Each structure stands twice: as C-alpha cells, then as structure tokens.
Amino acid sequence: MDKHIVSPNPHIHAPVSTRSLMLDVIIALCPAVVVSFLFYGWSEVMIMAVSIVSCVLLEWAITKWMLKAPSTVGDLSAVVTAILLAMNLPPVTPWWVVVIGAAVAIAVAKMSFGGIGQNIFNPAITGRVFLLLSFPAIMTDWTLPQGFINPHLDAFSGATLLGQVNILGAAQADKLVGLQTLWHNIGGSAGEISAIALLAGWLYLVVRKVIRPWITLSIFATVAVIAAIFHLADPESFTGPLFNLLTGGVILGACFMATDYVTSPMSNLGGVIFGFGIGLIVMMIRYFGSYPEGMSFAILIMNMAVPLLNMAFHQRKFGRK
Amino acid sequence: MSKITFKIGGVHPDDSKLSRGCAIEVLPLPETVYVSMAQHLGAPAKPIVAVGDKVKAGQLIAEAGGFISAVVHSPVSGTVKAIAPRADLAGRPVMHVEIAVEGDEWADGIDLSDTLVTEIPDDRAAMLKKIQDCGVVGLGGATFPTHVKLNPAPGSVAECLILNGAECEPYLTSDFRILLERTKEIIVGAAIMQKVLGGCRTVIAIEENKPEAIKAVSDALKELPYKIEVLPLKKKYPQGGEKQLIAAVMGREVGSGALPISVGAVVQNVATSLAVYEAVQKNKPLLTNVLTVTGDCLPVEKQHNYLFRIGVPLSFIAEYAGGIPEGAAKLISGGPMMGRAIANLDATTVKGSSSILYLSEAATKRNAQTACIRCGRCSQACPMGLEPHLLYRLYEAGDYDGLEANAVQDCIECGCCLYSCPAYVPLLDQIRQAKGAVLGIIRARAAAAKAAAEAAKSNESKNQ
C-alpha cells in the first residue's frame, strides 16, 4: 500500500496551467502579429524578436541571479508581455529602445513587485509609457517601413489617424475611417493595424474561456457612448464612435491589455466598472488632453483602482443576498 | 439538450464512465466480514451481539447510538468472532463487529424474491418506522439517516422530493446501473417516500450523459400508477450536491447553514430509494449496495459493478476483480472529485461505499504549486459563489473574521477550485482547514452565548 499516493480531494485536475493559458494568449495574438509583419516587414520582425529575447532573458537572469529562485520563464508570461510591448511600439523603433522598454516592463513593472501575479501595473504598458515619456520623438516617429505586401500608401502614410485630428479637424478625420479600417489601418504601432485580427484573437480567448468578455465590452460601450454624445453635440470638434473605436490602441488595449489577469479586477461587476473607467479616461484624454491617444494612461490609471474594486465587489454567494 | 442546471459555478470534467456497460454482478462472500459501527452520519451504532453469538443475514446486530444515527444488521450468516476497533479507510480505529461467514441463512420475515410489489401501504408512520428499523441511510455520499430526512420537523412542509440520479462524479456508474437494472424498484421506493412526505411533487433527476437511464425511467413510469416525473439535467459537476440539485430542479437556494426542507425540498439518492423499496416492500434491511471497480489504468474488461454485502473488505473486492492494476498511483473510495484516498485497503465496505477507483499518475498528479495569477477561475468554478483565492489568502494571514465574513463555512468541499486552478494552488486543502477552524469558532460563540443567557437567567431568579 505504501507505494500509493494518499492525499485529499480533488484527485483529478483540469487540463489547464498558467503556461497553457499564456500559450492561448500567444495564439490569440498571432493573427495581429502576422498582419503587422505583412505590413511592416523586417523592421517589425526585428522589433518583435528583440522584445521577446530581451524580456525572456531578463526574467530568466533576474530569477537566477537576483532572486535566486526557480525560473518562471516556462510559464510564457514574459513572452506575452514581450509581444504586447512590441505591438505598442512604432514600427521603426531602434533596437536599443526596445531593450529599454523590455527592461522597464520586466525588471521594474513585473519582477520588482514579486513577479507574475504580484504586479500592480500592466508590464507592457508600463514599458511603453516609460519610453513615450523618455523618448517622445522616437515614440511618435510614424515613418512607414517597407512591408512584405504593398498596402495602400495613399492618404495618410506617416501619421496615425488620431494624429490627424489636430491637423484636419474632427469632421475630416472622421471621414478617413471606414470599413476598410477594420481590416487594416496604416500608420501607428503594430497593434493598431488590424481590428479584425485583434478581435478574432479576442474572440478565441473568450470562446476558450481564457478571459471573460465584460471588461472589453465595457470599454467598447463606454468609448462608443461618450463619443456618440460628444459627436452628436458638436461634430466639428469631436470625432465619432466608429473613429474612436477603430483608431489608436482601443482595440488592442481593450482586448489584450485591460484583460490581463493580474492587473484587472476579479469580479464581473468590478471588471465592468474598470472598463468604464478606462473608456472614460481614454476619451477625456483624446478630446481634451495634450496627447492624441490615451489608452495606455487610461489602463495604468485604472490598474491603480483594481485593489479597491476587488475589495468592493464580490460575486454573489449561493443562498445569500 | 437540457438547459436545466444550477446557475453559480460548476466545472465540466470528462465523465470517464468507462464501466457504464458493465452489468451488475453479485459479489461472492468472503470468509470474514467486518461490519463498521460508524457507517452513517451521526452517533456510532452500539453493538447488541456478543462474541460467539450466531447471527443470520438481516439480523439486527447494533442499535442506533442517538437521534441522528442508524441501526446495523448482519450482512451474512455466521458467528461473531470479535467486537473490536479496526482501521477504517484512513487508518483510524473504528469499532467493528467481525463475523465469520457460515452459509447464507437469512433472518425470518425477509422477502428474498424479486417479485415487484407496487402496492404501497397506507400507514405512513409504519413505513417510516420500517425505514428506520432497516437502517436505511442516504447512499449518495453523506449517509444521513433517511428516516430523519423523511420526517421534517413540525411546521416545515415538503414541497418537492428530488431523487438524485445525477451521478455527476466522473467514473462512477453504480447509480447508472441500478437506474437501468432496478428501475421499477427505484420508482416504487420514490413513490413510498412521496407518500411518507404527504404526496408532494416528485422528480427523478438524471444528467443527460445517461440517456439510457432517462429512457428506462420514463418508460417504466408509463407502466406504473405513480405521479412522478423524470427530469433530464445538463451535465455539470457538482450537480449531485444537495444544494446544487435543489437549485437546478426548483430554482431555490438553500441558505447558509440551513437544511433543504427550509426551501421545501427533500433530496434522496436513487440508491437510497432502492433501499427504501427493499425495506418497506420486502422487509429487507440495508445490507447490500452497488460498487464500481474502475479507473483510467484498468482495462474496461476488468471493470465491474458489484452488488456487495456491506462489511466485505475492500481488499477482497480488489482481489476478486483481479488485483490492483500495475499503473495505479492512487486508490480512491468514491469519485475523483470528492472521494477519499484509500490509505488502508483492508478497510471494510460501508453502507455508502460507491467505488474502488484506480487512477494513474498521469490522471492524478498534482503539479508543483506556482504563483496565483489572479485569473479568478476558482471563483468562477465555485458552486457556492465563494472566492477561493481570497479565502486561501485570508487563511494564510490567519484572518478568521475575514474568513467568516467571506463565508468559508459555506464551502461544500467539492474540489472545483483546486480542479480549475492553473497554478495548482492547494486551495481546497487550506480552505478545508479554514472551514474547520471557523465552524469551531461559530460553535464556541453559540455555546458561550447560550451559557451567558443561562447565567443571566439564573442571576435574575436569584435576585428575585
């Protein structure tokens, strides 16, 4: 008998692990990554490679030499952070800037708080915002690199749609967004190209029950409603709902960054409020702030509210009001 | 596709009902049986036989040890060899009556024929007494004495009797087999309980991964004169949990610490229904049950559903079925979600024994614990709506007020949290400890309040 295990129930386990969940996120990001490679070519491939290698090596080195703990790179969370960081950078970002971004994301935002599960801020966004504040020129250099396929290089090569608002005015900028923007939206970071590719990945995660849809839907709804209200009141000054949903980092942020397990609320209601906060802040920054885009700031600010949302909102318990 | 199920939480493990095709076989008798005195919820039974006594199968050998307790009968004929403590499943000493088997002679008055008796007596009190005298207990896992459950306290009314045929635990097939092979007896048993409870709505609830059982029951119901429904349920674990089953069937939630009757529900397992039938219609005490020998490392041709006499050692059954398979890493009594690991295979079978389950290392291995990633999967899986990750952290922090406020005492220990955790955090292991501690605190507080009230009362009377 002594060769048999005696331990408490449950005696079986679901086929799920941190690694399998992270792998699902990576699979979900693949369509958008492939699209970014097609449109931005070797330049984007290089950024992605540098980001992944830097993030993974850094986490490995920190656990081995600084924390003297078992390596956690096998859980693939560093790879997810790396892909998201790369997708948040302009397609011509120099390699050393990518490395600095990776260092801030992994060393500062993630590992210094205790590694996976402990960080307050989304690591990839923290890395990006650090770069935006430190290297504003590089981080807004929207020169288009040579892609593998020839995209429409007509109206607005070299600047993001959001950047056009101040130049063309809201009413003109609004006209630049149409159904083709859903498929590809040239100008901006890799993660801003294809709404369809991002949404397909998000849908994969929702169907596989890797994430719940409420945070994302709440952000979309908030952005759409606020944009609709302002746009109806004054179409000359404020861009409309479709423009605000399809441009900039709203889709990437709502689908893949705001839904990060560690830095989002646990309860559904908390998630909806979290999403509302992000939607509200991003629209206020876009309409009234000095930056053309505010998705990163919106997520980081709401990350700070997560502990409070977790304390305030709990799921309904069985047999209790 | 049935949409009827409970609403909060739940998981979907592969049902692995490998032994579903194995018809029930009668297990032969061993040379010696060991009848446990603690095979029901509540006070242990008290032996009323002495060493050297000759007993017959079905003869009373132990009386109830309290209000919540049950009598025990000899499962065999033979001689009482010893009345002594013996190690149970977990290796703890429990009083057993050891009987050397001699032939198979039954006590008088027991109808051993398999003629179906469909006519139900009119005397409800007499039926209840018969159920009590035959030692019938709930066979779904909790082994709560059935006569107590069927006799609600004055003022509470049974609105719905639910026959639990969910068998939501993977691997187990004993309920499925009796639903197929003893269909009509189970239905008559249900009708008896329905009558005892005063004729309430009666539902036989079966998960839809057992379509043959659903068909067998609905066909049989057409031939019988009772007002009983069969209700297919969507497959979801832990649907066979009492509170979850009531929520699924009636849409009502039993409150924290409350009994099912508080929402008008009485739940009985289908195997219990069979025992009730045998007790009332055949005068046959509860001394047999059906047990599944199964596992992922056991070839299907070596799997069995056995009709066994209660008191046969597990090791005898394992040996008879061909021995412990090579690849078995863990032996379990019960299902893989809520069953108990067998530390002592020489332990005896009890009324509630439902399986010997052999799991391979691949099926049962727990990976090393890694950091919680706050994914919330445990909270989504919890059928009680608790937040296991939070309870785990509160317990680590020693915050018992926080644990009570977050309802750790409501935990049903179904295992959904740990089953779903991608980081293999030992959630249930710790929550079980936390629950025990908090229940202790709640009991102590209640006792202190009672003592204070009595002290105040006696002071008052002194002052007068």
What is the side-by-side strand order in the sheet with B54-55? B32-36, B93-101, B78-87, B54-55
Give domain status of residue B227, yes or no: yes
A38 with A96, same domain?
yes
A96 with A174, same domain?
no
Give domain status of residue B393, yes or no: yes
pLDDT, tens digit, for every residue of B196-246? 999 999 999 999 999 999 999 999 999 999 999 999 999 999 999 999 999
- The confidence score (pLDDT) of residue A186 equals 64
C-beta of residue B71 within 8 angstroms of C-beta of residue B84? no
B148 with B246, same domain?
yes
Beta-carbon count within 10 A of A313 CB: 17
- Looking at the DSSP bridge assignments, the partners of residue B293 are B304, B356
Sort out which chain A residues have CB atoms less than 8 A from B170's CB and list them. Answer: 12
Bond prior to B170 in cis (omega within 30° of 0) = no
| Residue among B345, B428, B432 minimizing CB distance to A1 | B345
- The confidence score (pLDDT) of residue A156 equals 46
Sort out which chain A residues have CB atoms less than 8 A from B294's CB and list them. Answer: none
B383 with B358, same domain?
no
A76 with A188, same domain?
no
C-beta of residue B17 within 8 angstroms of C-beta of residue B171? yes
Residue-wise DSSP of B196-248 = HTTS-EEEEEEETT-HHHHHHHHHHHHHS----EEEEE---BTTTSHHHHHHH
- The confidence score (pLDDT) of residue B137 equals 94
B338 with B416, same domain?
no
pLDDT, tens digit, for every residue of B407-419? 999 999 999 999 9
- Name the closest residue on chain A to residue B411, using Cα atoms: A318
| Residue among A9, A10, A317 minimizing CB distance to B407 | A317
Give domain status of residue A150, yes or no: no
- Considering chain A, what is the average pLDDT of its residues? 90
Inter-chain CB proximity A317 and B386 less than 8 Å = yes
Using a CB–CB cutoff of 8 Å, tell me whether A270 touches chain B.
no
Distance CA B173, CA B206 (A): 12
A248 with A124, same domain?
no
Whether the CA torsion B436, B441, B445, B451 is positive or negative: it is positive
Residues 6 or more apart in contact with residue B277 via CB below 8 angstroms: B185, B186, B188, B189, B192
Structural domain that includes position A246: 161-312
- The confidence score (pLDDT) of residue B41 equals 86
Mutation pick from B375, B420, B428 vs chain A, by most beta carbons of A within 10 Å, is B375
- Name the closest residue on chain B to residue A3, using Cα atoms: B329
Distance CA A189, CA A95 (A): 15
C-beta of residue B421 within 8 angstroms of C-beta of residue B401? no
Give domain status of residue B100, yes or no: no
- The confidence score (pLDDT) of residue A145 equals 80
A183 with A299, same domain?
yes
Backbone angles phi, psi at B106, to 5 degrees: -105, 150
B313 with B432, same domain?
no
Backbone angles phi, psi at A170, to 5 degrees: -60, -40
| Residue among B170, B338, B419 minimizing CB distance to A13 | B419
Portion 190-249 of A in contact with B at CB < 8 A: 212
pTM above 0.95, yes or no: no
Of B417, B315, B328, B333, which is closest to residue B376 (Cα–Cα)?
Answer: B417
C-beta of residue B196 within 8 angstroms of C-beta of residue B128? yes
Give domain status of residue B43, yes or no: no
A173 with A300, same domain?
yes
A133 with A202, same domain?
no
- Name the closest residue on chain B to residue A17, using Cα atoms: B422
C-beta of residue A115 within 8 angstroms of C-beta of residue A68? no
B167 with B270, same domain?
yes
Tokens coding A137: 């020129």
C-beta of residue B279 within 8 angstroms of C-beta of residue B286? yes
Q: What is the mean pLDDT of each run of 10 residues along chain B (464 residues)?
A: 91 94 95 93 92 94 90 95 92 94 93 92 93 93 90 90 95 96 96 94 96 96 95 95 96 94 95 96 95 94 95 95 92 95 93 94 92 94 96 96 96 96 96 96 93 87 70
A44 with A173, same domain?
no
Helix (H) or strand (E) holding A164: helix A161-168
Considering its fold, how many domains does chain B have in total?
Answer: 3
| Residue among A6, A72, A266 minimizing CB distance to B379 | A266
Give domain status of residue A11, yes or no: no
Give domain status of residue B436, yes or no: yes
Inter-chain CB proximity A5 and B383 less than 8 Å = no
- The confidence score (pLDDT) of residue A176 equals 73
Residues 6 or more apart in contact with residue B167 via CB below 8 angstroms: B173, B174, B175, B176, B207, B210, B240
Inter-chain CB proximity A11 and B336 less than 8 Å = yes
Q: What is the CATH number of the domain that holds B139?
A: 3.40.50.11540
A165 with A101, same domain?
no
Give domain status of residue A238, yes or no: yes
Distance CA A215, CA A189 (A): 23
B156 with B220, same domain?
yes
C-beta of residue B152 within 8 angstroms of C-beta of residue B261? yes
Of B252, B238, B261, B259, which is closest to residue B161 (Cα–Cα)?
Answer: B261
- Looking at the DSSP bridge assignments, the partners of residue B84 are B96
- Name the closest residue on chain A to residue B6, using Cα atoms: A318
Q: Cα angle at A81 between A78 and A82, to 5 degrees?
A: 85
Sort out which chain A residues have CB atoms less than 8 A from B251's CB and list them. Answer: none
Our CA dihedral for A218, A223, A226, A231, rounded to 10 degrees, sits at -150
Beta-carbon count within 10 A of A232 CB: 11
- The confidence score (pLDDT) of residue B430 equals 96
Give domain status of residue A149, yes or no: no
Bond prior to A10 in cis (omega within 30° of 0) = yes
- The confidence score (pLDDT) of residue A29 equals 97
C-beta of residue B290 within 8 angstroms of C-beta of residue B308? yes
B171 with B199, same domain?
yes
B314 with B344, same domain?
yes
Tokens coding A281: 């802040």
Distance CA A64, CA A72 (A): 10
ipTM of the complex: 0.91
B272 with B227, same domain?
yes
Give domain status of residue B346, yes or no: yes
Give domain status of residue A282, yes or no: yes
A121 with A248, same domain?
no
Give the amino acid at B342: I
The low-confidence residues of chain A, meaning pLDDT below 50, are 1, 154-156
Inter-chain CB proximity A1 and B418 less than 8 Å = no
Distance CA B57, CA B105 (A): 6
What is the side-by-side strand order in the sheet with B160-165? B229-233, B201-207, B160-165, B265-269
B237 with B344, same domain?
no
At A316, is the secondary structure helix, strand, or coil? coil
Give domain status of residue B343, yes or no: yes
Considering its fold, how many domains does chain A have in total?
Answer: 2
- The confidence score (pLDDT) of residue B2 equals 84
Structural domain that includes position B420: 377-446
Give domain status of residue B92, yes or no: no
Using a CB–CB cutoff of 8 Å, tell me whether A312 touches chain B.
no
C-beta of residue B73 within 8 angstroms of C-beta of residue B285? yes
Tokens coding B91: 């290796």
Number of H helices, E strands in chain A: 14, 0
A304 with A167, same domain?
yes
B354 with B381, same domain?
no
B212 with B342, same domain?
no
Distance CA A178, CA A195 (A): 12
Instruction: Give the CA distances from residue B31 to residues B34, B78, B143, B264, B318, in Å, rounded to whole numbers and listed in that order.
Output: 10, 10, 27, 46, 15
- Looking at the DSSP bridge assignments, the partners of residue B267 are B162
Using a CB–CB cutoff of 8 Å, tell me whether A18 touches chain B.
yes
A217 with A133, same domain?
no
- The confidence score (pLDDT) of residue A140 equals 86
Q: What length does chain B have? A: 464
Inter-chain CB proximity B330 and A17 less than 8 Å = no
Beta-carbon count within 10 A of B123 CB: 10
Q: Across the A/B interface, how many CB contacts are shorter than 8 Å?
A: 149
Residues 6 or more apart in contact with residue A273 via CB below 8 angstroms: A218, A265, A309, A313
- The confidence score (pLDDT) of residue A153 equals 52
Distance CA B185, CA B226 (A): 12
- The confidence score (pLDDT) of residue A179 equals 64
